[in-house]
Structure 1
Amino acid sequence: MHILLGQTLSFTADPFRVPVGEALRHESRGAVAIEAGRIVAVGPADEIRAAHPQAPVTDHGRALISPGFIDAHVHYPQTAIIASWGKRLIDWLNSYTFPEEARFGDPAHAAGIAALYFDLTLASGTTTTVSYATIHPESVDAYFTEAQRRGLRALAGKTCMDENAPDNLSDTAQSAYDDSKRLLEKWHGADRLSYVITPRFAPTSSREQLAALGSLWGEHPDVLMQTHLSEQHEEIAWVHELFPEAQDYVDVYDRFGLLREGALMGHAIHLSPRERARLREAGASLIHCPTSNTFIGSGLFDMNGLMNEGQRIGLATDTGGGSSFSMLRTMAAAYEVAQLRGTPLHPAQLWWLATAGSAHALHLGDRIGTLAPGYEADLAVIDLASSPAITQRAARAETLWEEVFPTIMMGDDRAVAATYVAGRRV
C-alpha cells in the first residue's frame, strides 16, 4: 500500500453528455491509495490516511493527480522525423515517413527508437500509446519488448502495405496476414499488451490485402483494428480513383470487414453525412489528431457535431505527423481547432478526451483513464504552476478549471511532476 497526496480529479461521467459539474469529483486535498499496481481508494486525504495509517505517503502538494494520458494514435517509428518542414500528407509520406520507416528492419535501430519514444512519452505523462509500427515484424517486437520491460499498457500492430508504397516497404496480402497473425498470437494479452490489426490506409492496400486483414479480424474479434480515414481532400480523391465501386471512403473499409466496434479511425475530418451515420451505426472510434491536422494542413475536425451525433471519439498526438509528444499540447490544439469551428471546448472536456475518453475509444474504459478503485494505477501528476507565465495566470484562478486551463494551453513536459506506471514512479 502506498498513498499519494495532492489535488485529485475523477471523472464519473462524460462531460460532453452531462453538465461539467455532474461529470467529475474533485478533491482540493485528496489522496489515491495504490496496492499491487491498482487503485484501491480515492477520496479526501484525511479519510484515506486514517483508513490506512501505516501506509507510506508521497505528498505532491497542490499538484493535480490525474489518470495518465492516453495517446490513441501514434507512429513511434516517426519519432526521429517529428517537426519536419513543409509537406502535406502524400508528400510527407514519400519525403520523410517512408525513408525513415525503411530503417526498421534493423532490430537494433527499432529497439533504440522504441526506448527513446517511451522516454519522451512518459516524461510527458502519457502512460498508454497505440502505435503503428512498420511493415517489419522487428518493429513490432521492439515496441512491445520495450513496453513490456517498463510494465506499460501499450497497443500496436504491424503496418501493412502492398500497393502504392516503396518496394522496400511493401509486403503482400499473404505475408501481411501471416505476419500479423503470428505477431498477434505472440503479443496480444501478454502482460499489459494488445495487438492491433493495422492496414495503413486504403490507398496502400490492395483489395486482396484488405480482405485478408478483414478475415484475420473476423478470426480474432477481441483485438482492435486501426487505420486512417479522410485526412485530406487529395487522399479522398485518390481513394475514389482506386476504389470506384465503393460509395465513399468509409465504404471501402466496410466492404472488407474492417468497420465495426473496435475500429480506430484516425483523423476522420472530411466525412459525408452517410459516412458519419455509418460510422456511428458501426460503433467505430474516431481519433482526433489536432496538432497533425494543423501541422500538415489537413483540416478542422468537427468535435461538436460528431459528439452531438453520439460518436465515440479519442484524442491523439499522431507523432510524427503531429508536432508534439505532449497530450497537454494536443489538448491545446484541440481547443484551438474547436475555436476555429466556433464551438469552444471546456477544459473538462479536453481533459476527459485525453484520459477517460480515449480509454473508452480503445474499449479499455474499465481498466485505465479513471481514478477509481479497481483501475490500473497509471497516473500523471501535473504541476499547475510549472512556469512563471502559468504561475501568474493560475494565481488568479477562482475555480479548478481556471487553474488547470493555463497548463493545458501553455504546459509542456515541465508540468509533469511525476508519472506512475502500475503504481510505480518512473
Structure 2
Amino acid sequence: MRGRLLWFVGDPHEIGDAAHRYVEDGLLVIENGLIQSAGEAKALLPTLPAGAPVTDHRPHLIMPGFIDAHIHMPQTQVVASYGAQLMEWLNKYTFVEEQKLAQQGHAEKLSAFLLDELLASGTTTAAVYCSVHRQSAEAFFAESHRRNTRMIAGKVMMDRNAPPALTDTAESGYADSKELIARWHGKGRQLYAITPRFAVTSTPEQMAASQKLVAEHPDCFVQTHINENRAEIAFARELYPDAADYAGIYEDYGLLGKKSLLGHCIHMTEREWRAFAQHGAIAVFCPTSNLFLGSGLFDWQRARHEGVKVAVATDIGGGTSYSMLRTMAEAYKILQLQGQSLSAFEALHAITRGNAAALGLDHFIGSFEPGREADVVVLDLAATRVMAHRLETVRDLAEELFVLVTLGDERNVAATYVAGERVEYPSFSGAA
C-alpha cells in the first residue's frame, strides 16, 4: 500500500528523532500477512512482481495498528455511568452489567461489538478482561480468531467481595482457566492472560491457584489491577495484612513478572516501584479512566526514573473512549498537570511499538520492520473541519502529528488492516 509511512525503531524519549522513520511517499509491501519491506515508493515499486496490486492511500498517514493494554469486554454498556468512584462504581454499575454475561448470546454480542469498535478506532491488539463466566472468554476468543486479530484475553477470577452470581471458586477458576489456556493460548493469533481481577476480589486460595497457573504456563500473561483508588488500597491491605504493601500481595503469590500487566499504578510507594522494576512488571496507564473515576494522576516520569515498563490503555468502561488517539490526548493533559511533557512522537510510539515492547510482542507487532505481522491503520489527518482548519498553519511533521494526537479519534481512521487484509466494521449514522 502507498501513502505517508510512519513507524518507530526506538523510543523517542531516549533517542529523539532517531527513533522514528518517516517516508513522505512510501510503499508498504505485504505478503502472506507479513511486512516484507517499507520504504520509498519510487525505489520499491519497480521491484514488485508484474500485476501486484497497490492500494493508494495518499495523502493519508499509514502506521502500525494501535495497541490497547487494558480493556474490559463486559463493560461496553457501563461507559458513561454517572457519579461514582471505583468501589461504588463497581458495585452500582459494573457488577450489575457483568451478571448479564450469563445470558445466552450476550457475551457473543459484546465481543463482536468490542472488536468492531477497536478496529474502527485503528486498534488491532488489546489485552482484554472477560467476565467470570468461562463462556465470556470462549466467545471473545472465538470472535477474535474468526477475524484473525492478535488479542490477549482471560476469564476473570474472583471468589469474594462480588455478587454471588459473579463469583467462582479457587478450584473452578483454576480449572476454567486451565481449559481456556489449553483451547486458546497460541491458537492462531490468540494469547491467554491469567486474570485474578484484583486482590480485593480473590481469596488467598485463589491467589495461590493463580500462582499455580503461572508456574504451569509461564508463557501466558497475567493481568490485574493495583493502586487505582485510596479506598481500594486500604481494603486490599486489610485483606492481606501480612503483605509489605499492595504490590507485595501479588509479589507473595508470584504474580509480578515480565508478562504481568498491572492496571493503574497511581498511588505507588517507593518500594512498590522498586518491586516492579526488579520483577520487570508492566505499569498500565489508563488516562481517561483515571480522570473519569477521580482516581488520580499517573506519574510516568517516576516510572521511567525507576526503570519500570509502561503501557497505555483505554480501560473501557471506566475509560470513556475506545480511541488510543483520544487516550493519548488525555495522557498529555495528565502529564501537564504534573509538570511533565509528552511529544506527539512519544505518544504515537507509546500506542504502537512502545506498547508492543512493553508486552514483549515487538517481534510480532508494533512496527514496519520486515517479518512483522501486517496490522496497519490508515489515518486521514484532515478528517474533521476543525483538524483541516488547524492543519493549514502547521510548519512541520511534529506539529502536524501533535494536532492528530490532540484532536484525533476514530473519525480519523480511513482503513484498518489485520494481517494484511482490510477489515470491515459497521458504520454508524444514528438511529433510523
Q: Using structure 2 for the length normalisation, give the TM-score.
A: 0.96
Partner of 1:308: 305
Contact 1:395 1:403 in 2 (8 A): no
Aligned to 1:269, what secondary structure does the other structure show? coil
Please give the per-residue CA displacement for 1:100-159, whole angstroms capped at 9, x wherever unaligned.
111112240110111111111111000011111011001001100110111100110010
Q: 1:416 aligns with which of 413, 416, 423?
A: 413
Distance 2:9 2:319 in 1: 30
Distance 1:236 1:17 in 2: 33
Partner of 1:209: 206
* Structure 1, 138-147 or 76-85: larger mean CA deviation: 76-85
Is 1:33 aligned to 2:23, yes or no? Answer: no
Distance 1:320 1:166 in 2: 19
Contact 2:345 2:401 in 1 (8 A): no
Is 1:173 aligned to 2:190, yes or no? Answer: no
Within-5 A mapping of 1:347-426 = 347-426=344-423
Partner of 1:52: 48
Is 1:43 aligned to 2:39, yes or no? Answer: yes
Unaligned runs of at least 5 residues, structure 2: 424-432
Deviation at 1:353?
0.8
Distance 1:287 1:107 in 2: 32
Deviation at 1:368?
0.3
Q: Using structure 1 for the length normalisation, give the TM-score.
A: 0.98
Partner of 2:18: 22
Deviation at 1:53?
5.1
Contact 2:153 2:191 in 1 (8 A): yes
Distance 2:46 2:155 in 1: 49
Contact 1:71 1:128 in 2 (8 A): yes
Letter in 1 for 2:172: S
Distance 2:400 2:3 in 1: 14
Distance 2:356 2:341 in 1: 22
Distance 1:323 1:10 in 2: 27
Letter in 2 for 1:339: Q
Aligned to 2:354, what secondary structure does the other structure show? helix
Please give the per-residue CA displacement for 1:293-336, whole angstroms capped at 9, x wherever unaligned.
00100110001221232211111000011001111100101111
Partner of 1:298: 295
Contact 1:107 1:142 in 2 (8 A): no
Contact 2:326 2:406 in 1 (8 A): yes
Please give the per-residue CA displacement for 1:80-110, whole angstroms capped at 9, x wherever unaligned.
1211111100011001110111111224011
Distance 2:357 2:205 in 1: 31
Distance 1:18 1:227 in 2: 32
Partner of 2:426: none
Partner of 1:78: 75
Please give the per-residue CA displacement for 1:11-47, whole angstroms capped at 9, x wherever unaligned.
111112222x111110111110111001101001111
Within-5 A mapping of 1:137-152 = 137-152=134-149
Q: 2:274 aligns with which of 274, 277, 285?
A: 277
Distance 1:178 1:156 in 2: 16
Distance 1:62 1:292 in 2: 34
Partner of 2:90: 93
Partner of 1:115: 112
Letter in 2 for 1:13: G
Distance 1:395 1:188 in 2: 48
Distance 1:77 1:304 in 2: 32
Distance 2:91 2:59 in 1: 47
* C-alpha RMSD over aligned residues: 0.9
Letter in 1 for 2:34: R
Please give the per-residue CA displacement for 1:366-409, whole angstroms capped at 9, x wherever unaligned.
10011111000000111111111111212222221211111211
Partner of 1:188: 185
Distance 1:396 1:377 in 2: 33
Please give the per-residue CA displacement for 1:265-302, whole angstroms capped at 9, x wherever unaligned.
11111100100011001000111100000010011000
Aligned pair count?
422
Partner of 1:318: 315
Q: 2:152 aligns with which of 151, 155, 159?
A: 155
Letter in 2 for 1:109: H
Aligned to 1:117, what secondary structure does the other structure show? helix
Is 1:232 aligned to 2:229, yes or no? Answer: yes
* Structure 1, 24-33 or 197-206: larger mean CA deviation: 24-33
